């Protein structure tokens, strides 16, 4: 089993935490986590990929063990998080890589791909949305209401996602057997988003998520134009990003595979082994060399 290293880098004046494993000269896969977690979500996946690939999994600013400057000291946006990720990869000398994106990791990854199309050799999207068809109305109505108008009522609607029960809901909804998901997951995430001031960081990103939808047509054109291979491996019972979001990648990606598994939003908690097997097979067949 590959050794996973836990490292820090100074990027644009901020200390970013990242996990790294695998041969230094191997092709690279970058793992980008979602809300409200961190690279912790990849703890079981990284060793399974690192036998063949150099794996890099950063914590976004404001998440995990990376710095979390106050919302009035840093302008949190998906543009800014993508810029920091690009800065980290530049510092590590990574110029070509496959992407694994989930939840918030998707709009960060889409910005990286659109900013440097030749850098991305393949995309693995695990409940990482890129289509309006993937947005589950019941979840997104509250977020959109808050984006349109910030009032005590609309803010209360999204603050539910920062509660212990709200985070647990993301982990267990759509899972056939809730006892298969460790409570370490939602308690770990809750502790980190409950740090003083981090709620305002998360609220800023809820508001800025509105900037991601206009990127979708640009993403679709990128997929059609650059023929990057796409693997959509999806928890089909996800209450946030539905399976239509996975199927839609096949409409634009010239080389695509879609696998719907009987799981939820955080598919790795219940299906890490089959997901790892699908990724390794897919990358071995389709990704360009380093």
Task: Tell me which residues are annotated as active site.
Answer: 265
Strand partners for 230: 123, 256
Q: Report whether 189 contacts 167 (CB < 8 A).
A: yes
C-alpha 232/C-alpha 215 separation (Å) is 19
Q: Half-sphere exposure (CA, 13 Å, Cβ side) for 26? A: 19
Q: Mind giving me the DSSP string for 10-23?
A: EETTEEEEEEEES-
The DSSP bridge pattern shows strands 54-58 and 14-21 to be antiparallel
Q: What phi and psi values does residue 177 have, to the nearest 5 degrees?
A: -130, 100
* Three-class DSSP category at 161: helix
β-pairing, 28-32 vs 4-11, is unpaired
**Beta partners for 201?**
none
């Amino acid at each position: 089993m590959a050794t996973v290293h836990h490292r820090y880098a100074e990027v644009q004046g901020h200390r970013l935490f990242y996990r790294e494993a695998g041969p230094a000269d191997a092709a690279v896969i970058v793992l980008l986590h979602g809300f409200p977690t961190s690279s912790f979500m990849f703890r079981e996946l990284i060793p399974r990929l690192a036998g063949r690939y150099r794996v890099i999994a950063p914590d976004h600013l404001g998440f995990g063990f990376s710095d979390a400057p106050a919302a009035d000291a840093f302008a949190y946006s998906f543009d800014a998080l993508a810029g920091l990720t690009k800065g980290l990869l530049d510092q590590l000398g990574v110029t070509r890589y496959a992407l694994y994106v989930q939840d918030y990791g998707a709009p960060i990854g889409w910005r990286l791909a659109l900013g440097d199309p030749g850098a991305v050799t393949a995309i693995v999207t695990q409940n990482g949305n890129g289509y309006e068809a993937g947005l589950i109305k019941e979840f997104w109505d509250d977020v959109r209401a808050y984006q349109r108008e910030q009032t005590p009522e609309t803010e209360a609607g999204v603050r539910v996602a920062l509660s212990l029960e709200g985070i647990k809901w993301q982990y267990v909804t759509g899972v056939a057997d809730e006892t298969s998901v460790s409570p370490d997951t939602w308690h770990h995430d809750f502790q980190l988003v409950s740090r003083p001031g981090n709620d305002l960081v998360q609220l800023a990103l809820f508001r800025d998520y509105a900037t991601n939808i206009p990127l979708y047509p640009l993403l679709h054109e990128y997929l059609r134009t650059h023929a990057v291979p796409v693997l959509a491996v999806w928890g089909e019972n996800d209450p946030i990003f539905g399976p239509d979001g996975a199927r839609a990648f096949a409409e634009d990606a010239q080389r695509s595979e879609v696998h719907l598994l009987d799981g939820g939003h955080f598919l790795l908690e219940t299906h890490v082994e089959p997901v790892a097997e699908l990724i390794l097979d897919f990358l071995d067949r389709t990704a360009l060399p380093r």
